[in-house]
Chains A and B, each alone.
Chain A
Amino acid sequence: MPRVPEVYYAGEIPPHGGGTLVYNVIDNIDKARQYWEIKTRIEIKPTLDPKGVPVRNVYREVMSIAYGFFTPLEGFMTQNEVESVLKERRLLSGWLFPYPIVFDVTEEEWKASGAKVGDEVLLTLKGKPLAVIKVEEFYKLPEDKKAFADAVFGTPERNKEVVRVPFDEKMPGWLIYRCLKSHAIAGRVWVVNPPKFREPYVRFWIPPAQSRAYIKAKGWRFVVAHQTRNVPHVGHEMLMRRALFVAGIGERPADAVLVNAIIGAKRRGDYVDEAILEGHEALSRGGGYYFHADRHIVTMTLWDMRYGNPLESILHGIIRQNMGCTHHMFGRDHAAVGDYYDPYATQYLWTRGLPSYGINEPPHLTDKGLKIRPVHMGELAFCPKCGEWTYLGIPLDVPEVKQLPLCGHKPERISGSFLRGLIIEGIKPPSVIMRPEVHDVIVKWWKVYGYPYVTDKYLKLKEEQLEVELP
């Protein structure tokens, strides 16, 4: 029988996995330096798409593991663990986890390093020490990477509940798994040279332990997490405001929204990372005060988005639970791209589970699942007559009723792509759609990169610079 979720306060909610928060970072520089001398080394290289454009850098996974975002994961997965995740989205310990997290290398790279199972191998980034991996296993990834990528994300035949269209190269997450190298190294990782974050990232790097401390210091009891890979329009802002009211448990609404932006390689056409972070920041600081700064915080996680809609929502739940949030917003087309998944696939998962992926109950109601609670958000649209954003209505289970607006007028839907089209044509969106301070941020970074959205050029530049500098 599904369990009834317990009530936890923000900052005190247990980390995922039932143990303590992972913190595999050696801050003591003298101690850390000893590892820098390790002769067995592997240079971290980006995952490239068939055109040679970087679509992932595994350093982001190293950082997210070591700083505890992916707790209880302490390292890269063994072959058995990958199989377990693909079979039932669980680690070998039984705790829910959506994706295989693999450190892929070529056989040549492995041989050149001279590493053996049992060794501590220094992982260098741009030639400088970053982390150490204690090699537990070296194994061959499946030969057929297309089949492997399909096993990760699903197929319309196998996963009828939510997959609508077969995945292909236009789906960035699928492409990442499709482009992995031939082999993988499994093992626990430690950061042995804590990097310095560049501007503007440094302001938003608040790893789980710090995030929990911040929440407690603020006295927030219920905190709702907002996943973002977008510059916010007013519709997003209204969703966050409404989520605050829904997210409380009994005694009062939630106290604050924790925005957590996913920072890494994204699909072409998404906003650049710097604008995403500063755009959200502009809602409560630096000009816009649409949220009080004591009710809103913007943070980031390093991760090359997989755009896996329901699967990504599990990872999001894990990350934000680890950061101390009690609730998580899930809206239409959560972390999705294209029309591969049903737009409400995430809601399906969090209300019924996804048996075809081996998840038989909702993630927060299953044994060894999550403690964070979902807050399901329907779609909002702007009603010119009401002069406000209103609920558009989740499609009802009545075929002829697709949507039922809250008001009796004709609310206008806004799509992110419509807004992007408006902006790229040089038109400043009206303030009922986008706050002027947010548009100013977009233009600021447009001037830096010559384009407001992710392009191949931006991805290459991002790979050159990354978000960090190593001392």
Chain B
Amino acid sequence: MTAEVRKYKIGLIIDDKRYEAIKGTPLEQKIERMFGGYIRLLTLEVDEETARHVLKEFPSGRIDARGFLEDLPVAFKRALFEAVVKTKSLGKEAIDEVFKKIDEIKAAAEKEKEYVPPPA
């Protein structure tokens, strides 16, 4: 009997700006709509090892009741979206791309720990 492989998810909110970046690409087809269509989301599925790695790099993060990795820095989410666009993937390629720049992302995350500009 094989042990069940636990999967976790990372959600990327697709606002209008991000939507423009993926419009017309295969990624657009993967957008899920939530809450009656008000929220657009791209979801990456990650294995337990990757989830642990992300949480180790960003200790503020946690796994919520839905199995999503949440409370991750905005800098990480931004870099992940850029990686998704670059690799045109919601898989391991995108995550690997993010980890190439992890120190840079951590430095940006450190800065946003105390200040993030509020909406106008």
Q: How far is the CA of A387 from the CA of B37 in the complex (A)?
A: 11
Q: How big is chain B's contact interface, by range?
A: 20 to 34
One of B20-28, B83-91, B93-101, B112-120 at the interface: B112-120
A430 adjacent to B38 (CB under 8 Å): yes
| With known contacts A425-B74, A450-B115, A417–B64 Cβ distance under 8 A | yes
Residue of A nearest to B64 (CB): A415
In Å, the complex CA distance between A384 and B35 comes to: 6
Q: Are B70 and A420 in contact (CB under 8 A)?
A: yes
With contact pairs A387-B36, A428-B119, A430-B35 given, residues A417 and B70 touching in the complex (Cβ less than 8 Å)? yes
Known A382-B35, A455-B113; judge A343-B71 contact (CB<8 A). no
Is the CB–CB distance between A455 and B119 below 8 Å? Answer: no
Q: Which residues of A contact B68 (CB under 8 A)?
A: 415, 417-418
Chain A 316-329 interface mask (CB, 8 Å, partner B; 1/0): 00000000000000
Interface of B, secondary structure class, is loop
In the assembled complex, the CB of B10 is this many whole angstroms from the nearest CB of chain A, namely 10
Is A456 touching B114 in the complex (CB atoms < 8 A)?
yes
Give every chain B residue within 8 A of A413 (Cβ-Cβ). Answer: 65-66
CA A343 to CA B66, docked complex, whole Å: 13
Which residues, 43 to 90 on B, are CB-close (under 8 Å) to A? Answer: 59-60, 62-66, 68, 70-72, 74, 77
User: Could you say which residues of chain A place their CB within 8 Å of the CB of B31?
Assistant: none
Q: Which 4 A-B pairs have the closest CB atoms?
A: A430-B38, A417-B70, A415-B64, A446-B118
30 A-B pairs whose Cβ atoms sit less than 8 Å apart in the complex: A170-B59, A332-B65, A382-B35, A384-B37, A413-B66, A415-B70, A416-B64, A417-B62, A417-B64, A418-B11, A418-B66, A418-B68, A420-B70, A421-B11, A421-B13, A424-B74, A424-B116, A425-B15, A426-B119, A427-B15, A429-B39, A430-B36, A430-B39, A432-B36, A432-B38, A446-B119, A447-B118, A451-B114, A452-B116, A456-B114
